Chains A and B, each alone.
Chain A
Amino acid sequence: MDKIVFRKPKLLNDTPMHYCPGCTHGIVHRLIAEALEELGDTDNVIGIAPVGCAVFAYNYFTCDMFQAAHGRAPSVATGVKRANPNSTVFVYQGDGDLASIGMAEIVHAATRGENITVIFINNGIYGMTGGQMAPTTLPGQKTTTSQSGRNPLEHGNPIKICEMLSTLTGPAYIARTSVHDVKAVRATREAIKKGFKMQREKKGFSLIEILSTCPTNFHMSPVAALEYAKTAGCEAYPLGVYKDVEQSNEVKGK
């Protein structure tokens, strides 16, 4: 007997993705689709694409999609969800979009406990515009606008979104995961599933921060970029569940 153990989820179409070779956006797109399919929650899905490389995400999902202005996706999602409370709404944002220009929008969507699921891609760099310093760029990391490496005295310090948002009462689920290897990818899928499950149960705001890579602007091979996420990335941004209203004892990051 022949059993299919892995195939492309139906919430993704067959359009070739425009992302660079080894870019983890493709993995996370697939995980969102898989999570929704595993939950049997594909009928009434509405996605909000950001500004950044994932601006074209609507080309790859088969569900209804919005393309939002830079940083405004959580506000757009708020409008969508209010107009359509029975839909499943996901927001897809990068670190420049969410943690820089869109900081007010994400914090207030979180504190309102808006019943949406945010997928936050943290790769520490502005990918689409060519590798500039992001709010999450690590100290010492070289970018096109911090060419000698990010110097906290000169450029400020990285922002830790999960830690920050988990201080709020509004969010139901805040977790940081990674896609640096198979185990991490599978854990990310479970975290995304949990976020969508909470949304379906109307428990409120969920955000999954996913440590990701940008091989092109890291100037690394895709494999080396994942190794960087696994080591430097996970050290600066500890993986774990930062808030979970279903757990009486909240597990903070390791």
Chain B
Amino acid sequence: MKKLLFNESLCKGCGLCVSACPKKILKLGNKINAMGYAVAECTDEDSCISCAFCATMCPDCVIEVHKEV
């Protein structure tokens, strides 16, 4: 199951999700979207605790967060 779904076309690469992540598993990668921004990605989804801190700080509603229950 994917815990983090990125709507990459909306990402502006601001990095607020990266700094909010308590597990330090987000980064701005090498992928560039149509707007020309390096988009956020998750480097280790297994470590993700679905806390949604990233989505809470994202100004552009890029991230949808799922959790296994």
**Main secondary structure on A side of the interface with B:** mixed
Q: Contact mask A21-35 → B, CB, 8 Å, 1/0? A: 111111100100000
A223 partner residues in chain B, CB cutoff 8 A: 15-16, 19
Q: How far is the CA of A181 from the CA of B56 in the complex (A)?
A: 9
Taking the complex as formed, is A83 at the interface, i.e. its CB lies under 8 A from any CB of chain B? no
B17-54: contact bitstring with A at CB < 8 Å (1 yes, 0 no)? 00110000000000000010100000000000010110
CB of B14 within 8 A of CB of A5, answer no
Are A24 and B68 in contact, CB atoms less than 8 angstroms apart? no
In-complex Cβ contact of B15 among A1, A22, A25 (8 A): A22
Q: Which residue of A lies closest to B53 (CB)?
A: A182
A185 at the interface (CB under 8 A from B): yes
User: Contact between B64 and A16 (Cβ–Cβ < 8 Å)?
Assistant: no
Would B60 and A17 count as touching, CB distance under 8 A? Answer: yes
Task: List, in ascending order, chain B residues with CB within 8 A of A22's CB.
Answer: 12, 14-16, 59
Q: How does the 8 Å CB contact mask read for A156-191 relative to B, with 1 for contact and 0 for none?
A: 000000000000000000000000011001100000
Kindly state whether residue A86 has any CB partner on chain B within 8 Å.
Answer: no
Among A6, A17, A23, A226, contact of B63 (Cβ-Cβ < 8 Å): A6
For residue A53, give the distance in angstroms from its CB to the closest CB of chain B: 12
* Bound CA–CA A87/B55 (angstroms): 30
Q: Which residues of B contact A19 (CB under 8 A)?
A: 59-60
A254 sits at the interface (CB 8 A): no
Complex alpha-carbon distance, A16 and B7, angstroms: 11
A5 adjacent to B59 (CB under 8 Å): no
The answer to whether A4 and B13 have CB atoms under 8 Å apart is no
CB of A238 within 8 Å of the partner chain = no
Count residues on chain A whose CB falls below 8 Å from chain B CBs. Answer: 30
Indicate whether A201 reaches chain B with its CB closer than 8 angstroms: no
Asked whether A5 lies within 8 Å of B67 as measured between CB atoms, the reply is: yes
Taking the closest CB of chain B, its distance from the CB of A122, in whole angstroms, is 17
| Distance between Cα atoms of A24 and B15 in the complex (Å) | 13
Whether A6 touches B52, Cβ cut-off 8 Å, given contacts A1-B69, A181-B20, is yes
Whether the pair B9, A16 counts as a contact (CB closer than 8 A) is yes
Q: How far is the CA of A231 from the CA of B5 in the complex (A)?
A: 32
Residue from A5, A6, A17, A182 having most chain B Cβ neighbours under 10 A: A6
User: For B63, what are the chain A residues with a Cβ–Cβ distance below 8 Å?
Assistant: 6
Q: Does A84 sit at the interface, judged by CB under 8 A?
A: no
Of B1, B57, B61, the contact of A182 (CB 8 Å cutoff): B57
B16 in contact with A4 (CB, 8 Å):
no
Question: With a CB–CB cut-off of 8 A, which chain B residues contact A4?
Answer: 64-67
CB pair B66–A3 under 8 Å, yes or no, is yes
Q: Are A182 and B20 also in contact (CB < 8 A) when A5-B50, A22-B14, A223-B15 are?
A: yes
**Residues of A bordering B, CB below 8 Å:** 1-8, 12, 16-17, 19-27, 30, 181-182, 185-186, 215, 221-223, 226
